[in-house]
Structure 1
Amino acid sequence: MGRLQRKKPDSKKKKAKSAAQEMELNGAPKKPAPAPAPKQALASEGPKGPAFWTNSVQFLREVRGELKKVTWPSRKQTVGSTAVVIILVAVISMFLGLVDMGLTEIVRLVIG
C-alpha cells in the first residue's frame, strides 16, 4: 500500500484550465513550458536515504491510525467462529473421504 496522495482542489484546476483556454481563444501565442532542471543525485539519498526513512515512518503512522479504526471481534466471537470453521472442515473432509472411497470401489469394479 502506498501513502495517500492529496488531490488539488477543483478551484485551482479550473482556474489553470480556464486561463489556458482564454489564451487559446484570444489568439495569444503559447510559450513552451521551461524544461525541468535535472535532479542531482546526492550520495545520502537513494533506496536507503532520508526519503526512505521519512516515507517508512509516515506509512507506519498511517497504519497505526487505520488499525485504531478497526472494529475487532470479542474473544467470544473469535472462539465461536473458530469452532464453526473446525467443525465444517471435519464434516467436509469426512464427506470427501466417503466420496473418494465410493469412487475408488466403482473404478475397481469397472477395471477388475
Structure 2
Amino acid sequence: MSKLQKKKPQSEKRKRVIETADDKSGVAVKSTVEKKPVRSLSDAGTEKSGQPMAGNFFARTAEFFREVKVELKKVVWPTRKQTTGTTVVVVVFVFIVAVFLGIFDYSLSKIVQVVLT
C-alpha cells in the first residue's frame, strides 16, 4: 500500500490545519481545527444513533430557542437616533423614487397617447 492509499486514523481525518497571519507580527500561525462529521441528507430525520428524532421534538425546540436567546445577546442593536436617521433616509429615498417613476409614467402615457391619436 502506498503512502497515498494509507488510511489516516479517525482522529486525524477530522482535523484540518488552518494557516492564518498574526495581526501584530505578520507571521503565519498554524492552528488545528477539528471538523464536525458531515451528515448526509438521508440522515436528516435521524439522530446519530439512527433513531428518528420525532419523539425529541420538544427538547430540540427548547434547545433552539435557548440558542436563539444566546445569539440575540451578541447582537449590537442600533440606538434610537441611528434608527430614526436611517428611517428618514429610507422614507426620503422612497419619495424621490416615487416622484421619478410618477413623472416617467406620466410622460410615457402622454407619448403613447400622442402616437395613438
Same fold (TM over 0.5): yes
The aligned residue for residue 12 of structure 2 is 14
Q: Structure 1's 38 and 80: CA in aligned 2 closer, same or farther, altered over 3 A?
A: closer
| 1:56-103 per-position Cα deviation (integer Å, ceiling 9, x unaligned) | 111111100000001100000000100110111011101100010001
More helix by share: 1
| 1:25-82 per-position Cα deviation (integer Å, ceiling 9, x unaligned) | xxxxxxxxxxxx986x8xxx73xx3x11111111111100000001100000000100
Is 2:89 the counterpart of 1:84?
yes
The aligned residue for residue 23 of structure 1 is none
Aligned length: 75
The aligned residue for residue 105 of structure 2 is 100
The percent identity for this pair of structures is 42
TM-score, reference length from structure 2: 0.56
More strand by share: 2
Higher radius of gyration, 1 or 2: 1
The aligned residue for residue 31 of structure 1 is none
After superposing on structure 2, the runs of 4+ consecutive aligned residues of structure 1 that deviate more than 6 Å are none
TM-score, reference length from structure 1: 0.58
CA RMSD of aligned residues (A): 2.7
Question: Unmatched 5+ residue regions in structure 2?
Answer: 1-8, 14-48
Question: Unmatched 5+ residue regions in structure 1?
Answer: 1-10, 16-36
The aligned residue for residue 62 of structure 2 is 57
Between 1 and 2, higher relative CO (CA 8 Å, sep ≥ 6) is seen in: 1
Letter in 2 for 1:93: A
